[in-house]
């Protein structure tokens, strides 16, 4: 770096303190509209907002079913995001932003806040399945529905889905309460069952699922009528005790707002709109035959 030349002095002048730079407003940072990330890194003094209404939080009754929790999608060959060249097969992405969460071959670590089960119901139209509804499974109410039935001359098929509210590792370690939903259905059901089995073991010791983390990966498998990427899950390990108070709060927050959550099933809807030979649809057909006994 070039420097200006000065004449030699017989006596060294005392060093001057550098002038304090003028304080300017910081540049805006594009965060990808990730409000959870903004909230986690915004160092505001919340006491400054005393007496200010917190908008949605204080009008929760008016926003029933308006809170959309993103899903963690596993991209297939015919996924819309792959068609749009926004993602590639085998990747895990955020369903709302298409943000890459884990590349093919990488592990996606997550903490389970809560598990639940659902029915996906499909109407048969011209021999093809068309997504009809998604219903939370409640023991003693609808847990024992038939996998196939005919109502008013219309044929329906159902499948069970293991679902979980989770925090991914990146968010959990930063204290960001941004839950995702992971679904395990069809050929990925085995990975979900492994997760549920480990959570049951924790429960046997009086421990909630969020004392530990899990590792999820994807792998391509071949079937009689095509191939598809499937999810696999393995137990990762226990979390440090210092993490538990934050995770307890996350679980309590989830319990408070769960009735307001709308589950985004657009991946299932899109998979059945396309028709034809499609990896996800083919795998679902396999699952109807092999996993109806869950």
Q: What is the pLDDT of residues 128-160, one digit of tens each?
A: 889 998 889 999 999 999 999 999 999 999 999
pLDDT at position 55: 64
CB atoms within 10 A of CB 84: 9
End-to-end CA distance of the chain: give it in Å, rounded: 71
CA atoms within 13 A on the CB side of 174: 15
CB 41 within 8 A of CB 35: no
Q: Distance (Å, rounded) from C-alpha 294 to C-alpha 291?
A: 6
Q: What percent of the chain has pLDDT over 70?
A: 70
Distance from C-alpha of 158 to C-alpha of 191, rounded to nearest angstrom: 20
| Segments in 205-262 forming alpha helices (H) | 244-257
- Taking residues 99-123, report their average pLDDT: 94
- CA-to-CA distance for 172 and 98, rounded, in angstroms? 20
247 contacts 114 by C-beta, under 8 angstroms:
no
Beta strands per DSSP E along 84-225: 92-94, 100-102, 108-125, 128-136, 148-151, 154-168, 180-184, 212-223
Question: What local confidence, expressed as pLDDT, does residue 29 receive?
Answer: 38
2-12 pLDDT per residue, tens: 444 444 444 44
Helix (H) or strand (E) holding 287: helix 279-290
What distance in Å separates the CA atoms of residue 242 and residue 163, rounded to the nearest whole number?
Answer: 27
**pLDDT value, residue 36:** 44
d(CA 162, CA 86): 27
- Asked if residue 293 has pLDDT above 90, the reply is no
Q: Quote the mean pLDDT of the chain.
A: 77
**pLDDT score at 59:** 56
The dihedral sign for the CA sequence 228, 223, 108, 239: positive
Report the pLDDT averaged over residues 50-62.
Answer: 62
> φ and ψ at 126, to 5 degrees?
55, 40
């Amino acid at each position: 770096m070039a420097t200006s030349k000065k004449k030699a002095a017989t006596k060294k002048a005392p060093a001057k303190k550098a002038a304090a730079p003028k304080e300017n407003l910081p540049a805006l940072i594009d965060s990808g509209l990730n409000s959870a990330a903004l909230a986690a890194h915004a160092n505001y003094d919340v006491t400054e907002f005393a007496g200010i209404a917190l908008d949605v939080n204080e009008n929760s009754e008016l926003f029933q079913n308006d809170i959309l929790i993103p899903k963690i999608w596993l991209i297939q060959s015919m996924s819309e995001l792959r068609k749009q060249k926004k993602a590639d097969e085998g990747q895990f992405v955020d369903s709302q932003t298409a943000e890459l969460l884990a590349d093919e071959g990488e592990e996606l670590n997550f903490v389970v806040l809560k598990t639940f089960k659902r029915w996906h119901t499909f109407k048969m139209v011209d021999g093809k399945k068309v997504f009809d509804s998604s219903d939370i499974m409640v023991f003693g109410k609808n847990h024992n529905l038939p996998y196939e039935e005919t109502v008013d001359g219309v044929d329906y098929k159902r499948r069970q889905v293991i679902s979980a509210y989770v925090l991914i590792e990146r968010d959990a370690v930063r204290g960001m309460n941004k839950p995702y939903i992971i679904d395990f259905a069809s050929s990925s059901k085995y990975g979900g069952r492994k997760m549920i089995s480990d959570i049951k073991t924790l429960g046997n010791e009086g421990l909630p699922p969020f004392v530990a983390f899990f590792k999820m990966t994807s792998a391509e498998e071949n079937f009689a009528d095509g191939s598809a990427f499937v999810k696999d899950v393995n137990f990762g390990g226990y979390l440090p005790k210092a993490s538990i108070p934050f995770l307890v709060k996350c679980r309590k927050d989830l319990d408070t707002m769960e009735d307001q959550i709308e589950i985004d099933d657009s991946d299932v809807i899109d998979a059945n709109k396309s028709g034809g030979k499609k990896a996800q649809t083919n795998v679902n057909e396999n699952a109807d035959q092999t996993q109806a006994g869950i």
